[in-house]
Structure 1
Amino acid sequence: MQFSRPILFRVIRVLDWPTYDGWVWLDGYEVGPRMDAIARRSIFVRPAGLRPVVRSRARER
């Protein structure tokens, strides 16, 4: 397990690295509470376990 708590992650790209079936490497940034990038990361995940963020209209302004 890479993280003890969920993180918000902005994906830059899916890496073409060898991996196990059903898993992928993602390259991107961990996003902080103010929606700013706080750390560049490459993470190993199962896409089935990811949840997209739904942005509200109030935050887009």
Structure 2
Amino acid sequence: MIWRNVSDFVAMGGYALYVWGSVGMFLACLAGEWLALGWRRKDIVRELRHARQHPGGEDA
């Protein structure tokens, strides 16, 4: 497909809503995954620090 200007590119041949909606959904999912990984990393680091400070576990 050949676009003559930016407006033609944004319009995506009449499929702009589908194309840009898909791009937006992909970016939203990517951002959500990135945030979830960061939160999980914080949890793991917190658990490891706790385990290092309390070597016998909660029961000991």
Both proteins in one fold, TM over 0.5: no
Instruction: Please identify which structure carries the higher strand content.
Output: 1
Higher alpha-carbon Rg: 2
Instruction: Give the TM bin, normalised by the shorter chain.
Output: under 0.3
Instruction: Please identify which structure carries the higher helix content.
Output: 2
Higher relative contact order (CA 8 A, sep 6+): 1
